[in-house]
């Protein structure tokens, strides 16, 4: 999608009983911006969203493969995978891919709410098949700029307005200091009732 | 006339029956009685051991009850060798799931995996079905404690209390009368002993003839699998007032013919 792999920004912030996610909507090839308004995510379950970034083609291929398998699990077993189990499964797929001739080069954020306990969870996964559960996270160059912002302002049990405010700060930071112009973001909220797009 | 359709597992008879599967179930009806009871706070599995020669070295291995995972166990009735294969398969499937999803396999899914394997042997390959029935006991976060039964056809169902092996229908009848849904583990254990006592020859009820296991939650919420030692079984039998010290069982069992059966 982008010439520099890090030029796509993904964010996730865990709130009291939800996860707020954001992804930039720019699709670029080399020096040309091909499209704005691309949603860089796929829903794995009704309450778990996966955001992706990385090499063109690999991203969507991998995301849709994982999405279909998670959906199949839900249909076969009558109950959806928990965020933890979904992240475990995705990580396992990345790990197997890593030791092949041409691994999937994707970085991911998996944001979900465990419906059994109503707890929100956020997982950061990369193409080396590492997986970390975090309270707030970013993928791409954006992480270098915004992790410190989130470090400064994140507290447990954020409500929606507080989380949105923090997300705005992160995006503003990129606008001021990051060389690439990432103007539009797709922002979604993931909670026990589902996944829906909101505006900041 | 039915004989013509016996030998191939993978064909129906004209009456629409799978004889090999039925014969497998017939073999199991001669196996040691095995029963399972679901309580509000756990599951009980009790089984009658068939092999009873004094010369048998029975220290390490289990004959009837096996642990499958941290959160599930099973009791078998039928061919021990078939059972070993299936138990091994089950354990592997459970670990494969843990490897992929980082969580314990839901009990019903574990049962389904095994049943899918058993069903395969009734439809293709030309191999005979497994001559084993299983009682599975397990716990998961979705449905709490569960008890399942599966047979050589690959069919399974969930039960509150059930019995397989010899005198199963007899025991099932008693269970139907005496089981109540609000039983706790202590009451379930008591009922299990009571039922076995009624259907087994009383003079042979001793700790050397029984395998006993329970599944329950520890105070910290972890699933605990407990396979009872002989002295613990003796204590249980004593509590129920059906105690027969191991020694007195000998006369009825050792009637000359070797008693190490392949069907247990």
- Interface probe with B: pick from A44, A73, A85, most Cβ of B within 10 Å: A85
pLDDT at position A51 over 60? yes
What gap in Å lies between CA B48 and CA B207, rounded to an integer?
A: 10
Alpha-carbon distances, residue A12 vs A184, B8, B150, B260 (angstroms):
16, 59, 45, 63
pLDDT in tens, B79-92: 999 999 999 999 99
Q: Which residue of A has its CA nearest to B109?
A: A77
Using the Cβ of A88 and the Cβ atoms of chain B, whether some distance falls under 8 Å is answered with yes
Using the Cβ of A133 and the Cβ atoms of chain B, whether some distance falls under 8 Å is answered with no
Other CB atoms closer than 10 Å to residue A144's CB: what's the count?
Answer: 12
Q: Backbone dihedral region of A88: left (phi > 0), alpha (psi from -120 to 50 degrees) or beta?
A: alpha
- Rounded to 5°, angle at Cα B2 from B27 and B123: 65
Q: Compute the nearest-CA separation of B218 from chain A (Å).
A: 20
Q: Compute the nearest-CA separation of B95 from chain A (Å).
A: 14
pLDDT at position B3 over 80? no
Distance, C-alpha B32 to centroid of its chain: 9
pLDDT at position B182 over 50? yes
Record the tokens describing residue B169, joined without a space: 């229908």
> What number is the average pLDDT over the span A18-35?
94
Other CB atoms closer than 10 Å to residue A34's CB: what's the count?
Answer: 11
Band the pLDDT of B7: cuts 50, 70, 90.
low
- Segment holding B226, helix H or strand E: strand B223-227
Residue B2 contacts residue B12 (beta carbons within 8 Å): no
Residue B109 contacts residue B142 (beta carbons within 8 Å): no
Report which listed range, A35-39, B200-204, B248-252, is most confident: A35-39
Using the Cβ of B95 and the Cβ atoms of chain A, whether some distance falls under 8 Å is answered with no
pLDDT in tens, A123-132: 999 999 999 9
pLDDT in tens, B146-173: 999 999 999 999 999 999 999 999 999 9
- Interface probe with B: pick from A44, A89, A90, A96, most Cβ of B within 10 Å: A89
Q: Compute the nearest-CA separation of B102 from chain A (Å).
A: 6
Question: Any residues with CB less than 8 A from the CB of A157 and at least 6 apart, and which?
Answer: A15, A16
Band the pLDDT of B253: cuts 50, 70, 90.
very low
Chain B hits for A79, Cβ within 8 Å: 106, 142
Q: Compute the nearest-CA separation of B98 from chain A (Å).
A: 9
Q: What pLDDT was estimated at residue B247?
A: 45
Between chains, do B100 and A81 touch, taking CB under 8 Å as contact? no
> What number is the average pLDDT over the span A7-23?
97
What gap in Å lies between CA A104 and CA A127, rounded to an integer?
A: 7
Between chains, do B101 and A89 touch, taking CB under 8 Å as contact? yes
Chain A hits for B141, Cβ within 8 Å: 116
What gap in Å lies between CA B170 and CA A112, rounded to an integer?
A: 50
Q: What pLDDT was estimated at residue B109?
A: 98
Reported pTM: 0.89
Which residue in B129, B49, B114 sits closest to B82, CA to CA? B129
Q: Compute the nearest-CA separation of B97 from chain A (Å).
A: 9
What percent of the residues of chain A are helix, what percent strand, and what percent coil, each to the nearest 5?
35, 35, 30
Using the Cβ of A116 and the Cβ atoms of chain B, whether some distance falls under 8 Å is answered with yes
Q: What pLDDT was estimated at residue A98?
A: 97
Using the Cβ of B116 and the Cβ atoms of chain A, whether some distance falls under 8 Å is answered with no
pLDDT at position B16 over 80? yes
Using the Cβ of A196 and the Cβ atoms of chain B, whether some distance falls under 8 Å is answered with no
Using the Cβ of B142 and the Cβ atoms of chain A, whether some distance falls under 8 Å is answered with yes
Using the Cβ of A115 and the Cβ atoms of chain B, whether some distance falls under 8 Å is answered with no
Using the Cβ of A95 and the Cβ atoms of chain B, whether some distance falls under 8 Å is answered with no
Between chains, do B99 and A92 touch, taking CB under 8 Å as contact? yes
Other CB atoms closer than 10 Å to residue B243's CB: what's the count?
Answer: 16
pLDDT at position B255 over 70? no
Average confidence score pLDDT of chain B:
88
Using the Cβ of B81 and the Cβ atoms of chain A, whether some distance falls under 8 Å is answered with no
Please report the ipTM that was assigned to this predicted complex: 0.89
Between chains, do B109 and A88 touch, taking CB under 8 Å as contact? no
What gap in Å lies between CA A82 and CA A64, rounded to an integer?
A: 18
Q: Which of B100, B106, B108 sits opposite A88 (nearest CB)?
A: B100
Q: Where are the beta strands (DSSP E) in chain A?
A: 10-14, 18-24, 27-29, 32-35, 41-45, 48-54, 106-114, 119-125, 131-133, 136-139, 185-191, 194-198
């Amino acid at each position: 999608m982008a010439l520099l792999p890090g030029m796509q920004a993904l964010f996730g912030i865990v709130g009291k009983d939800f996860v707020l996610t954001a992804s930039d909507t720019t699709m670029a090839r080399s020096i040309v911006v091909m499209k704005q308004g691309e949603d860089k995510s796929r829903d794995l379950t009704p309450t778990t969203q996966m955001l992706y970034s990385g090499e063109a083609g690999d991203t969507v291929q991998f995301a849709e493969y994982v999405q279909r398998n998670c959906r199949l699990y839900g249909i076969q077993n009558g109950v959806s995978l928990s965020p933890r189990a979904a992240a475990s499964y995705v990580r396992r797929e990345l790990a197997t891919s890593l030791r092949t001739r041409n691994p999937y080069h994707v970085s991911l954020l998996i944001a979900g709410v465990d419906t059994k306990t109503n707890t929100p969870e956020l997982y950061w996964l990369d193409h080396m098949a590492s997986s970390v559960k975090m309270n707030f996270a970013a993928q791409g160059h954006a992480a270098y700029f915004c992790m410190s912002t989130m470090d400064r302002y994140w507290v447990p049990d954020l409500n929606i307005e507080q989380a949105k405010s923090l997300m705005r700060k992160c995006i503003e930071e990129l606008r001021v200091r990051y060389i690439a112009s990432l103007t539009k973001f797709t922002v979604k909220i993931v909670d026990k009732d589902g996944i829906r797009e909101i505006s900041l | 006339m039915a004989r013509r359709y016996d030998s191939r597992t993978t064909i129906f008879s004209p009456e629409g029956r799978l004889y090999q599967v039925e014969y497998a179930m017939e073999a199991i009806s001669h196996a040691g009685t095995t029963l399972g009871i679901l309580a509000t706070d756990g599951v009980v599995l009790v089984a009658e051991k068939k092999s009873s020669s004094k010369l048998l070295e029975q220290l390490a291995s289990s004959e009837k009850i096996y642990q499958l995972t941290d959160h599930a166990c099973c009791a078998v009735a039928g061919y021990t060798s078939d059972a070993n294969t299936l138990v091994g398969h089950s354990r592997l499937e459970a670990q494969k799931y843990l490897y992929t999803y980082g969580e314990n396999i839901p009990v019903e899914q574990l049962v389904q995996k095994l049943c899918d394997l058993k069903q395969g042997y009734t439809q293709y390959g030309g191999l005979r079905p497994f001559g084993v029935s299983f009682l599975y006991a397990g716990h998961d976060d979705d449905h709490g404690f569960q008890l399942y039964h599966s047979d050589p056809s690959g069919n399974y169902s969930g039960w509150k209390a059930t019995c397989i092996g010899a005198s199963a229908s007899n025991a099932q009848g008693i269970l139907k009368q005496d089981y109540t849904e609000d039983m706790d583990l202590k009451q379930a254990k008591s009922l299990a002993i009571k039922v076995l006592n009624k259907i087994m020859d009383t003079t042979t009820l001793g700790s050397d003839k029984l395998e006993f296991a329970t599944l329950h939650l520890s105070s910290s919420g972890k699933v605990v699998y407990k396979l009872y030692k002989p002295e613990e079984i003796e204590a249980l039998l004593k509590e129920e007032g059906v105690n027969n010290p191991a020694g007195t069982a000998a006369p009825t069992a050792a009637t000359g013919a070797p008693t190490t059966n392949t069907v247990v």
